[in-house]
Each structure stands twice: as structure tokens, then as C-alpha cells.
A and B are shown apart, each in its own frame.
Chain A
Amino acid sequence: MNCEESQSQLHPYSDGELDLTKSLELEHHLRECAMCSQAHDDLKTLRKALRSDSLRFRPNPDLEARVKSALRREANGGRQWFSWTWLIPLFSAALLLIVFSGYLLTRSSSDDLVAREIVSSHVRSLMTSGHLIDVPSEDPHTVKPWFDGKLDFSPPVRDFTAQGFALIGGRLDYIANRPVAALIYERRKHQINVFIWPAVGGDIKPTAQVQQGYNVIHWTKSGMTFWAISDLNLAELQQLEGELEKP
């Protein structure tokens, strides 16, 4: 074995990875060659130093505790599908449901209350002793300004004679604890009261109901609440509602 070969085998020899035959050959060479023998000694010196314990990086004492608690969390997380922390979103969801359903209930009952007021007002306006119209006019430009100064809002006033719903006048009324505008339309001797006042919430799609034999349609659009009531059949009342909803 020459020096070149010897140098290339020194590392696997030192690591115990060289087979027996080659190891014996190398040992023989090392005994004869001072340079390679010196290289071998140097390698042994280096390797001894590398094996020194003080060369290692030691983990902080708390790393083991940290790893252990992470493992415990992982082990528990895998086992327990139930945890107290689940209750927090659960409770909030339940609370939200209660509040929301409460809101729905009170809202529908207040709507119900308003519907009854609408019926009373409608019936009173039709009685001979009651009054139907404050400002008799088929002209929107007469009716609309009449409301100025009497209300804190300006109701949309339009005539639909061409569509079969003649505007016959307007009236001030008092519904849901506030002054409101009432527009009176007529179709084949049937009187229709349309109550209008500013809405609180957003738009609501038209919903029809029957109160004491009267058809009532309620909707909210563009910041105004509308209640249309009449003894007219529902289909025709819906036709008026359609006209009023048009911008």
C-alpha cells in the first residue's frame, strides 16, 4: 500500500468501517511510513477532541419540561373531544339565539300591534262619524305639500288612476305612537288606506295578512314603512302595492 491509498483509507479505518484485509494492509503501512503514521496520530487527536463532552451544546434544563407538557397537551388533545373551552362558543351561540328569537318575537308582536291599530284606524275612517279625508284631492301636487309642516317627513304621494287606483286624498293619523301620513285610494267604491311613516330598520319584503276580514299588506322600502289596508281582494291590493313599490 502506498501513501496515497493509505491517506484515503485512514478515515474509514479510524471509523472502524474498513474490512479486515485492508485494515491489516494499512496497519502494515503505518508501521513503515512516518508521515502516514503522523497523519493517523493527528486524526486520533482530533477525533478525541471532537468526542469531548464539553463540545456539545447542552439543552436548557427547562426544555425537557417544555417538551413534556407539549406532548401531554398533544396526547390529551387527541383523546378528549370535549373540552371546557368548547363551552365558550357554545354559550355565545345559545345567547345569540335567545336574543335573536326574543327580538323576532317582540318584533312580530309589535307588528301585530301595529296591524291592529291600522285596522282600527281604517275602520274609524270609514265610519260616517269618522273622517276619511283631510285634504280631498286627486292631485299629488296638492296632497304632498299639505303634509308639509304637519309631519317631520315627506311621504311619497302619487296618483294611479291610469292603473285603476284613484288618489282621492290624504289624512293625518296617529299610529305606533307617532303621526303618520295616510293616503286614500279608491277602486270600484272600495276605499284603500295606505299608511306611511319613516322606517327604523332596513327593507322588508311585502307580507300579506288578514285582520278582521281586511287584507293588510306591509312592507318597508327606501326608509319608509308602508301599510296598505282594504276590503278589496288581495290580488288587487297587491297590484296597488306593486305600483307603490315602483320607484
Chain B
Amino acid sequence: MIGAVFTKRSQLEPKNKLASFEAAILPHLSSAYNYARFLLQNESDAEDVVQESYLRAFKYFRGFHGGDSRAWLLTIVRNTSYNLLQQNRSRQLVDSIDDSTEVLDPSEYSNPDTVLRQRIDEDLLKQAIQELPLNFREVLILREMEELSYKEIGTLCDLPIGTVMSRLARARARLQDKLAGKINQEI
């Protein structure tokens, strides 16, 4: 009798694990895909990375004890993406920027001459984001699209908060410059 109950329980357990995993993590599929897609800049790579990340996440789900499940998943997506990028050395892994030079320099920020006063063209903006170096791009995506805090981004990307802040500022400044430049070119 007890044996029967035990068998039933152990058979049910994996199903419960899968069900609770899917309930907690599957809703973040679109975040995971968007992040991977911006990191890898390739649709099929992003799809593969998302699938691989979900399998990894499922494997380590026992080790996840509460907290922000989306940030947890995005960390796995990031690691999986970087593994792939490292394999495909042809694509540049790190658009090497020296963190020590990331001092807040006011001249880096948008100046009134290049300001965008009209509505921003989304196609141009999307293109401008993709032209950003990987380090800037991912911080920007995590902040603006996934709305993670500096602290969460710092944990996810293993960066000091000051670096998150300066990269974010520089990424935005570059976007503004690029957009302004493009609009000027079109006129």
C-alpha cells in the first residue's frame, strides 16, 4: 500500500516539475527571444539559444529558489549566447572597450545641435541599436526593453553598477547621435 503510494508519487514528480517550470518560466519566452535576438543578431541562432537555454533552465530549476525568474532566465540566455558567440569567432565577441576609459564625459552626451525633436523613426532606431557594440547593446536592451534595474543588470552581466550606468549613458548618446546623423543625411 505504502509502496503503491510512493510509486505514484515518484512517477508524478517529474510531471509536476515540468508543469511548475513551464508555469514560472515559459511566460518569459518573448523576453528571452528578444534579448537573444539582439545579442546574436540572427534569427535561427536566437531560436536555438532560446531552446537550449530553456533546457538548461529546466535542468537547473531545482537550484532556482524564488527571486526574479525572468532575470534568472535571461542570465542563462546570456551565457548560452556568449558560448555560441565564442564558438563563432567570425562574429566579433567583444567589441573591446576598455572599462577604465568609461569615465562620464559630458561631451559624449547629446548636445542640442543633434537633438531629435520630431517623432523617432522606429526602423532607424532599431537599426541604430543593432549597430551598437555588443557591450552597449545588451545593457540598453536589459534596461529599456526588459526594464531591469542597474543592480539587476550588474548581477546579470557581472558588472559594477557604475559601469552599467556609464555604458547605458553612452549607448543612449550613441543612439541619439546616430539617429540625428541619419535624419540629417535624409534631409
> Using a CB–CB distance below 8 Å, which chain A residues touch chain B?
3-4, 7-8, 10-12, 15, 17, 35, 38-39, 42-43, 45-47, 49-52, 54-60, 63-64, 66-68, 70-72, 74-76, 78-79
Give Cα A56–Cα B146 distance, bound, in whole angstroms.
Answer: 10
Decide yes or no whether B136 CB sits under 8 A from chain A: no
Given the complex, which residues of B lie within 8 Å of A17, measured CB to CB? 149-150, 165
CB distance from B31 to the nearest CB of A (A): 9
Cα distance A8–B17 in the bound complex, in angstroms: 47
- Cα A8 to Cα B29 with chains together (Å): 35
Q: Check A72 against B18 for contact (C-beta < 8 Å).
A: yes
Q: Evaluate contact between A57 and B54: CB separation under 8 angstroms.
A: no
Cβ of B78 under 8 Å from chain A: no
Which applies to chain A's interface (DSSP): helix, strand, loop or mixed? helix
Q: Is the CB of A71 within 8 A of B18?
A: yes
Q: Which residues of A contact B51 (CB under 8 A)?
A: 63, 66-67, 70
CA distance A17 to B152 in the complex (A): 12
Chain A positions within 8 Å of B26 at CB level: 64, 67-68
Whether the pair A70, B144 counts as a contact (CB closer than 8 A) is no
Between A and B, 5 residue pairs with Cβ closer than 8 Å are: A4-B106, A17-B150, A42-B115, A45-B116, A47-B144
Contact B176 A52 (CB under 8 A): no
From residue B28, how far is it (CB to closest CB) to chain A in Å? 11
B172 x A11 contact (CB < 8 A): yes
Q: Which residues of A contact B82 (CB under 8 A)?
A: none
Chain B residue at minimal CB-CB distance from A54: B122
**B110 sits at the interface (CB 8 A):** yes
With an 8 A cutoff between CB atoms, is B158 at the interface? no
Chain B residues closer than 8 Å to A56, beta-carbon distance: 30, 34, 145
List the 10 closest pairs (A to B, CB-CB), nearest first. Answer: A59-B33, A57-B37, A50-B144, A49-B120, A11-B169, A8-B104, A75-B18, A7-B106, A79-B14, A56-B34
* A42 & B116 in contact (Cβ 8 Å cutoff): yes
A67 to B17, CA, bound (A): 16
Give the A-B contact count at a CB cut-off of 8 A: 119
CA distance A74 to B21 in the complex (A): 13
Interface residues of B in 122-181 (CB under 8 A from A): 122, 125-126, 129, 140, 143-145, 149-150, 165, 168-169, 172, 175-176, 179
Contact A57 B140 (CB under 8 A): no
Contact with A along B23-55 (1 / 0, CB 8 A): 000100110011001100000001100110011
Q: Is the CB of A63 within 8 A of B33?
A: yes
The distance in angstroms between the C-alpha atoms of A10 and B176, with both chains bound, is 15
| Residues in B whose Cβ lies below 8 Å from that of A64 | 26, 29
Closest to B145 in A: A56
B72 contacts A by Cβ under 8 Å? no
Cβ 8 A contact of B109, one of A10, A49, A63, A71:
A10
Q: How far is the CA of A51 from the CA of B120 in the complex (A)?
A: 12
**CA A12 to CA B164, docked complex, whole Å:** 10
**B102 is an interface residue with CB less than 8 A from chain A:** no
Chain A: CB-nearest residue to B115: A42
**Set of chain A residues within 8 Å of B59, measured between Cβ atoms:** 74
> CB < 8 Å: which of B17, B116, B165 contacts A11?
B165
Of B14, B55, B172, which is within 8 A of A43 by CB? B172
Minimum CB–CB distance for B170 against chain A, Å: 9
Bound: A78/B110 CA distance, A: 54
Measured CA separation A133–B151 after assembly (Å): 104
Q: Which residue of B lies closest to A11 (CB)?
A: B169
